[in-house]
Amino acid sequence: QKVTVEVLDHLERLALVDFRDAEGVQRLQEAIQFADQLQEVNTDGVEPMDSVLEDRCLYLREDDVTEGNCTKELLKNAKEKVEEYFVAPPGNIPLPKLEERETFLQGS
């Protein structure tokens, strides 16, 4: 199955993973082929599971707050913050323009 530039762009933005070279695209295509095998499984009449532990009783506990009021202490761990919120990095890779990716996708 071929990977389009649009799919690649979407996956890079979601995963923050660089698929910019032919090896990255090859790995992605292999992962898609591997996952596509799941579509071959006949699931007609199979109800979705609520939990992977359906055969066991799940014990719930009360949701009692035992600690708290430690916002300032927690925010000391933040590299960057705005008001009382952690600021996540924009991504670990600079994303290339769509046109730049078409060159290596054509070879795959």
pLDDT in tens, 52-77: 777 777 778 888 888 888 888 999 99
pTM of the model: 0.41
Distance CA(73)–CA(91), nearest Å, equals 26
Look at residue 42 in the predicted model and tell me its pLDDT: 93
* β pairing state of 85-86 and 81-82: antiparallel
Which amino acid, residue 6? Answer: E
Distance CA(1)–CA(105), nearest Å, equals 12
Task: Label residue 44 by pLDDT band (50, 70, 90).
Answer: very high
Look at residue 90 in the predicted model and tell me its pLDDT: 62
CB neighbours (10 Å) of residue 11? Answer: 14
Query: For residues 26 and 105, is the Cβ–Cβ distance under 8 A?
Result: no
Looking up tokens 């996708």 gives 105
Task: Report DSSP state, residue 70.
Answer: -
